[in-house]
Structure 1
Amino acid sequence: MTIAINTKITNFKSKLDTPLTKQEINILQINLGKRCNLACTHCHVEAGPKRTEELSKEICQQLIELIHKFPQIQTVDLTGGAPEMNYGFKPLVEAARQHHKQVIVRSNLTIYFVDGFGDLPEYFANHQVRVVASLPCYLADNVDKMRGTGVFDDSIKALQLLNQVGYGRNPNLILDLVYNPQLPTSEKFSLTPDQVKLEQDYKKFLQEKFDVIFNNLFTITNLPVGRTKLHLERKKLHTSYLQFLESHFNPQTVANLMCRNQLSVDYLGNIYDCDFNQMMNLSAKTGDGESLTVAKLLEFGSLDVIDEIQTANYCYGCTAGCGSSCGGTLV
């Protein structure tokens, strides 16, 4: 007798009581390109050393104009790839700081040991860039499995360099770490651990073992996008993982979702509601259904032209349990 397995997943949009709408935009997250010195197994961008896609001079200038034109932008969040390796990184940092915006760089840390990038810790300190660094575990074996042999050791050296220039000590030099769970290999799925407790564990271990200090730990759920999605599909776990995330949907997270007050921009200048939608090519839309670009926003003279946020079933990853965002848990 064949047993029918229910593989139905509730459409995320229908899970919500009301449409997911934008608030006033105050965060501009820019993906500068796919060039990276690492090729991490969980990377939703699918970045790596062989990727060449990056920001153009034209789009960089449009973004600088956008930063100058809209005082409501409080934070410019630079990501990649390794954002530091892609065209436009330093011009965007300096344009944003000139206008007193907070600048975040999402750094893989190991970039500091690539020829030509050894000045980055001092550069970050000079411009008071907030460093959000990936360290998916405080144990070497787990990090190296996800990110490559030797990455943990280089990451620790990089954190020590950042501490030496004042990060984690000077209140203007914020250093945050990001935890990602290991990719599942069976249906024994789990949500990210308690962020407060895990931060305490990270701080105790890293300070005692390596004399490393940092400010905050962000726990981020692996969304089934990019290499994570490919991994789940290879293991025949994609549907069951989505079902797991749906079963832990927490409506209290919805009010704080990162897509509500940010715009995500790709290296071609296209606009998305979040970085995950960007990787899945799900464009942000105006009320008239028009896709957006940086050039169109400049033409409109407004950042607040999106009514409803585009959603997909991987949005369950941001709304499961305590929620997940670029700044960690939501509730």
Structure 2
Amino acid sequence: MVATSPSVSDVAAESAVLGITPFDQRLGQPLTKHPITVLQINLGRRCNLACTHCHVEAGPKRTEELSETVCNQLIEVIRRYPSIATVDLTGGAPEMNYGFRPLVEAARAAGKAVMVRTNLTIFFEPGYGDLPEYFARHQLQVVASMPCYLEKNVNQQRGSGVYDASIRALQWLNQLGYGQAPNLKLDLVYNPPVPRTAEFSLTPSQAKLEADYRAYLHAHFGIAFNQLYTLTNLPIGRVKQALIAQDLYEPYLQFLSQHHNAATVANVMCRDQLSVDYLGNLYDCDFNQMEGVPCRLPNGQPFTVADLLTDEGLNQLQTVQTRPYCYGCTAGSGSSCGGALVNDPATNSGASIYPSRSATSRMNTARSSASWDFRPASTTS
């Protein structure tokens, strides 16, 4: 069931209480939708980790996941719309939730680029040891959570032992050609620590941090990757809970609002994507999904996957549902599921991670020259 969204007046009142200008008012007009090219599917809340920065609040005890009915509807949507160039699979750990492989295979058969947002450690859980080879066989773009290149910081955010498993997983992917072969793209995602004091700072330069990651991971572990994407912690989910516990929720939102960058608005991800939850409800982005703010049709009704299978089609939405936390996507260089939104000078930082449809051409079979094997002993290909 879809949560009831606040009215425009309610959003304005909430913004006033928080001491910030309502997002649409700051823009001077409603944020409009563009043609939809990305379908992001949240397959469920189940995950083998319970990270402190997780806005989904995923974990091993969560059981919510895609149903067979919704999975079949999504497969039909993927087949029906050539304009959807990219299917972006997330969770939880998407690999652990119902429908992951059927959606991968349907999307690849339809010529779509497929991204999987993985925590890497899932490769070493019982029953998932074939995932790296599966990813390579289907030419999936791997977007891997790696909140820092230093062990202490990663384990603090994600749990003891996660860093070591992540390094072994990245080496395994490199052995298969990821980060090296043209059609085996491996991108990493940086999440800053959750603020603990009012000494807030903007997310570091994506280009500079990528250079630091690349130098450290190559020098210490021989790891290669394509790009790093820096994200801002939006004040929702576990981040919101932590901020409230420290009396930092309102100050953090004010900080984000004060650093709003109008140049980022043209590229915010909510304009050309739809986010789908495990029940088949549609949202402008994954953040709205977690906050229960569904897409609204011009008549005010919620928008669902079933509506995509009617004659009205894909592009029925006119405006994005905005909330105070939207400033998290427009502060500084901007933030999205594809990293920064504004290019750093003389770099390609901030370019979309969503590949063009031409990027889904025949796989280059080049393989790493490394001969070691990072698979767990019990795993067979």
User: Which bracket does the TM-score occupy, shorter chain normalised?
Assistant: over 0.9
Cα contact 2:85–2:113 (8 A) shared by 1: yes
Q: CA separation in 2, counterparts of 1:93 and 1:284?
A: 25
Q: Which residue of 1 aligns with 2:236?
A: 225
Whichever residue aligns with residue 280 of structure 1, its letter is E
Q: Which runs of 5+ in 2 are unaligned?
A: 1-16, 343-381
Of 271, 294, 298, the residue aligned with 2:305 is 294
Q: 3-state SS of the aligned residue for 2:335? A: coil
1:282 offset after TM fit, Å? 0.2
1:32 offset after TM fit, Å? 0.0
Within the alignment, does 1:250 sit opposite 2:250 as a pair?
Answer: no
RMSD after superposition: 0.8
Q: CA separation in 1, counterparts of 2:127 and 2:99?
A: 15
Of 76, 101, 125, the residue aligned with 2:112 is 101
1:301 offset after TM fit, Å? 4.4
1:300 offset after TM fit, Å? 3.6
Q: Which residue of 1 aligns with 2:143?
A: 132
Q: CA separation in 1, counterparts of 2:172 and 2:301?
A: 46
Whichever residue aligns with residue 11 of structure 1, its letter is P
More displaced 10-residue stretch of structure 1: 6-15 or 269-278: 6-15
Cα contact 2:307–2:313 (8 A) shared by 1: no
Q: 3-state SS of the aligned residue for 1:299? A: coil
Instruction: After TM superposition, list the pairs within 5 Å mapping 1:306-317 onto structure 2.
Output: 306-317=317-328
Q: Which residue of 2 aligns with 1:284?
A: 295
Within the alignment, does 1:270 sit opposite 2:257 as a pair?
Answer: no
Cα contact 2:18–2:253 (8 A) shared by 1: no
Q: Which residue of 1 aligns with 2:69?
A: 58
Q: Which residue of 2 aligns with 1:303?
A: 314
Q: CA separation in 2, counterparts of 1:279 and 1:109?
A: 23
Instruction: After TM superposition, list the pairs within 5 Å mapping 1:68-83 onto structure 2.
Output: 68-83=79-94
Residue by residue, what CA displacement relative to the aligned partner does 1:261-308 show, whole Å, maximum 9, x if unpaired?
000000000000000000000010111111011011112441100001
Q: TM-score, normalised by structure 1?
A: 0.97
Instruction: After TM superposition, list the pairs within 5 Å mapping 1:83-232 onto structure 2.
Output: 83-232=94-243
Whichever residue aligns with residue 242 of structure 2, its letter is H
Residue by residue, what CA displacement relative to the aligned partner does 1:24-76 show, whole Å, maximum 9, x if unpaired?
00000000000000000010000000000000000000000000000000000
Q: CA separation in 2, counterparts of 1:300 and 1:52?
A: 34
Q: Which residue of 1 aligns with 2:355?
A: none
Ranges of 4+ aligned residues in structure 1 off by more than 2 Å: none
Q: 3-state SS of the aligned residue for 2:87? A: strand
Whichever residue aligns with residue 22 of structure 1, its letter is K
Residue by residue, what CA displacement relative to the aligned partner does 1:137-186 show, whole Å, maximum 9, x if unpaired?
00000000000000000000000000011101100000000001011110
Q: CA separation in 2, counterparts of 1:98 and 1:191?
A: 41
Q: CA separation in 1, counterparts of 2:335 and 2:152?
A: 25
Q: TM-score, normalised by structure 2?
A: 0.85
Within the alignment, does 1:45 sit opposite 2:62 as a pair?
Answer: no
Q: CA separation in 1, counterparts of 2:29 and 2:93?
A: 37
Q: Which runs of 5+ in 1 are unaligned?
A: 1-5
Q: CA separation in 2, counterparts of 1:295 and 1:209?
A: 49
Whichever residue aligns with residue 224 of structure 1, its letter is P
1:12 offset after TM fit, Å? 1.3
Q: 3-state SS of the aligned residue for 1:133? A: strand
Q: CA separation in 2, counterparts of 1:110 and 1:236?
A: 33
